[in-house]
Amino acid sequence: MSSIQTKISSIIKNVAGEASASAEIRVPEGEALGHYATNVAFALAKVEKKNPGKVAEEVVSKIRTAAPKDFFSKIEATPKGFINFWLTPEALQAELSEMLNQKEKYGASNILNGRKIQLEFISANPTGPLTLANGRGGFLGDALANILSAFGGKVEREYYVNDAGNQIITLGKSALAAAGKIPDEEKFYKGEYIKEWAAAHADEVKAAKEPLVLGKRIATDLLKSIRHAVEEKAGIRFDRWASEDEDVHKKGFVKQAEEMLREKGLVYERDGATWLKTTQFGDDKDRVIITSDKYPTYFLAEVGYFLETKERGFDEKILILGPDHYGYVKRAEAAAHLMGLDRFEAIVTQAVRLVEDGKEMKMSKRRGEFVTLEELIDEVGPDVARFFFLQVSPEAHMDFDLGLAKEHSAKNPVYYAQYAYVRAKNILEKGGGRKAKPNTKVLSKLNTEAELRLMRTLVRLPEFLEEALKNHRVHHLAHFAVTVAKSLHAFYEQERVLEAEVEEREARLLLVQGAVTVLENLLSMLGVSKPEKM
C-alpha cells in the first residue's frame, strides 16, 4: 500500500518517536496552509513541557534533515504549533507512477490477511417488500464488503431470514383476514401485496388450517420477491441466505445457546419466565429468553444464531441494522461476547424520507402505503439509488431527493462522477488506449498548476480507503468520487491533452490514465457501474 500520507507519517515517526502515534495528519482547508498538516508538536510539547510553537520549530528542523530529497518543497511551523507541508512535483509524480503500476490494487493491501468476517445486512422479515431503509442498509453492506475484501478480508455476505416466530403466524392471519375468513386486527399486515397474494391463492387460503403453515407459504413467495429486488434490481450479492428455522432452530443452536448461558450463571427465573442478565453488558434492562409459556424468544434465537456463526469459523461479525434498533445494540454485543465472537460491531442506519419538489412523500408501512426499494430503483435506476444512499453517513437522517435523482446533469453526483470516467476513457481511447508506461522523464513534464492539483487529488485515494476500512463507513468515498470528477473536469478545461506537444501529450495521457484508475477503483468499491458511454 502506498500513500503520501503514509510516507509523511513515517517521516514524522522517525523524528518524533512514540509521541507521533497520537498525531493527526490531515489536509488543510486551503492550500495556503499546506498540502498536509500535523499536530504532532502538541503531543511532544506535553511530554517535554514546552511551548507547542517552539517544539514545532524543532521538529521542522529535524524533518528537513530526515526527509527524502525532493519530497517536500516547503515545511512550515506555525506559532500555535501546527506543522504544514507542501509537496514537490517530484513526490506527486513518483506517487502517480506507483498508482499506474498498481492499477486496481492501488490504495488497498492485504492487511486483513484472510480474516474471516461475517457481514450481515438487510435481513428484513419476509413479511413484505423491501423498504427504502432496507435498501440503505443493503447498499452500505454491499459496499463495505467490497472494501473489506480489497484489504484481504474473507467476507461472507449474509442475509438472515427470520422465517420463524410470531411474525410468520401474523402473516398467515393477515391473508386470512384479507380473504374475510377471520376478523381483521390492527397488528395484521395491510399492504396491497397481502390482498393480491390472498386473491391469487384463494384456494390455498380457503383450505388453510393453521396460520403458521399459511404464513410460511406466503413468506416463501415474499422471499423470492425480496431476492429478486436485492439481486436483480439492486445488484446486491449475498453469499448465504440463512434460515432462522432451518439453520438455527432445527440444528439445535437455540438449545445449545441456552445451555451455555445457564452454565455461565447468567440466567434467572422470574414471573415464570427465564431472563438473561444483559444489564451486566450495558443493556438498560435484562431480557427474557424463554417466555412463561416456555417458548424461546426471538432474542434467544438471535443468541443461537451468533453461536451458529461462531461454530462456522467466524471470529468477527458486522451487523447493519435499520432505524429504531439502537435498543438492540447492547444485547447484541452481549450475545456476541457470550458466544465467543472476538469482534462485533453494529451499525444502525437512520430513517429515509422521500422528497420531491421540496415536499415529503408521506408513507405508512402499517397501511401498506410506502414506496418499495424496487419501485425506487425502477424510477431512478440502481446506480443513482445506490450512490444517493451511500453518500450520506448511516448515522444521519436522509432526504432522498427524487427530482435530483432523475436529473441527467452535473447536479446529479453519480451522473457527474460517471461522466468524468467516460470522458477520461474517451480521451485515452483517442490517445491510443492505456498502453503508455510511466517513466520519470515523461512524468516530469507534469508541473502546471492544473496538473499538480489533479495529482494531489488522485494520490489521496489510499487515505480514503484506509479510513473506510477503519471506521466501516463509506460515504466519504462517494464524496471523494465527486471531488476526483471535479478535479479532472477542471484539468481538462485548462490543459490541452490530445493537442499538446508530444512529450506533454504523453505525460497528460498518463495523468488521465491515473484518473481512470482512481475512478474505476472508487466506483468498484461503491458498486456503481462504469459505463462505456453516456
Q: Are residues 375 and 488 in the same domain?
A: no
Residues in the chain: 534
Question: What is the model's pLDDT at position 194?
Answer: 95
pLDDT digits over 256-290, tens only? 999 999 999 999 999 999 999 999 999 999 999 99
Cell numbers that stand for 16 in this block: 518524533
Domain-ending residue, one of 87, 113, 137:
87
Residue 181 reports pLDDT greater than 80: yes
Q: Are residues 66 and 150 in the same domain?
A: no
- DSSP code string of 127-166: TS--BHHHHHHHHHHHHHHHHHHHTT-EEEEEEEE--SSH
Predicted TM-score (pTM) of this structure: 0.94
* Residues β-bridged to residue 290: 274, 296
Q: Are residues 131 and 238 in the same domain?
A: yes
Answer for the pair 130, 114: CB distance below 8 angstroms, yes or no.
Answer: no
Beta strand 267-270 with 36-38 is: unpaired
Q: Where are the alpha helices (DSSP H) in 431-474?
A: 440-443, 449-458, 461-471
Question: What is the model's pLDDT at position 367?
Answer: 47
Strand order of the β-sheet with 154-161 is 240-243, 154-161, 116-120, 316-321, 343-348
Give the Cα separation of 301 and 365 in Å (integer): 26
Q: How confident is the model at residue 361 (pLDDT cuts 50, 70, 90)?
A: confident
Answer for the pair 292, 260: CB distance below 8 angstroms, yes or no.
Answer: no
Q: Reduce the DSSP state of residue 268 to 3 states and report it.
A: strand
Residue 434 reports pLDDT greater than 80: no
pLDDT digits over 214-241, tens only? 999 999 999 999 999 999 999 999 999 9
pLDDT above 70: percentage of residues in the chain: 97
Examine residue 357 and state whether it is found in any structural domain, yes or no: yes
CB atoms < 10 A from the CB of 366, how many?
Answer: 12
CB atoms < 10 A from the CB of 239, how many?
Answer: 12
- DSSP code string of 360-399: E---BTTTTB--BHHHHHHHH-HHHHHHHHHTS-TTS-EE
Q: How confident is the model at residue 449 (pLDDT cuts 50, 70, 90)?
A: very high
Closest CA to 138 of 111, 153, 157: 157
Cell numbers that stand for 61 in this block: 528542523
- Average the pLDDT over 443-468 and give the result: 96
Q: Are residues 155 and 46 in the same domain?
A: no
Query: In 147-250, which ranges are E strands?
Result: 154-161, 240-243
Exposure b/e, 420-448, CB count within 10 A at least 16 = b: bbbbbbebbeebeebebebeeebbebbee
**Rounded to 5 degrees, what are φ and ψ at 360?**
-75, 135
Query: Residue 226's domain is classified under what CATH number?
Result: 3.40.50.620
Q: Are residues 394 and 425 in the same domain?
A: no
Question: What is the model's pLDDT at position 1?
Answer: 46
Query: Residue 450's domain is classified under what CATH number?
Result: 1.10.730.10
Give the Cα separation of 469 and 111 in Å (integer): 10
Q: How many domains does one find in the chain? A: 3
Q: Are residues 401 and 419 in the same domain?
A: no
How far apart are the two ends of the chain, measured CA to CA in Å?
33
Beta strand 359-360 with 352-356 is: antiparallel
Neighbour-count burial of 24, counting CB atoms closer than 10 A to its CB (0-12 exposed, 13-18 middle, 19+ buried): exposed
| Cβ contacts of 452 within 8 Å, gap of 6 or more | 89, 92, 446
Q: Are residues 363 and 472 in the same domain?
A: no
Query: Residue 32's domain is classified under what CATH number?
Result: 3.30.1360.70
Give the Cα separation of 241 and 217 in Å (integer): 17
Long-range Cβ contacts of 313-316 (<8 Å, 24+ apart) = 313/116, 314/116, 314/117, 314/118, 314/156, 314/341, 315/115, 315/116, 315/341, 315/342, 315/343, 316/115, 316/116, 316/117, 316/118, 316/341, 316/342, 316/343, 316/344
Structural domain of 55:
4-87
Q: Are residues 139 and 244 in the same domain?
A: yes
- Average the pLDDT over 40-55 and give the result: 92
Domain-ending residue, one of 72, 87, 102:
87
Q: Are residues 391 and 442 in the same domain?
A: no
Which residue has cell 490514465?
513
Domain-ending residue, one of 342, 376, 406:
406
Examine residue 498 and state whether it is found in any structural domain, yes or no: yes
Mean pLDDT of the chain: 94
pLDDT digits over 61-71, tens only? 999 999 999 99
The counts of H helices and E strands in the chain are 21, 15
Q: Are residues 395 and 422 in the same domain?
A: no
Give the Cα separation of 58 and 51 in Å (integer): 11
Give the Cα separation of 371 and 210 in Å (integer): 31
The number of angstroms, rounded, from the C-alpha of 393 to the middle of its chain's C-alpha atoms is: 9
Q: Are residues 499 and 432 in the same domain?
A: yes
Q: How confident is the model at residue 365 (pLDDT cuts 50, 70, 90)?
A: very low
Give the Cα separation of 179 and 218 in Å (integer): 14
Closest CA to 472 of 113, 116, 145, 118: 145
Give the Cα separation of 425 and 432 in Å (integer): 11
Q: Are residues 362 and 496 in the same domain?
A: no
Q: Reduce the DSSP state of residue 37 to 3 states and report it.
A: strand
Examine residue 531 and state whether it is found in any structural domain, yes or no: no
Q: Reduce the DSSP state of residue 344 to 3 states and report it.
A: strand
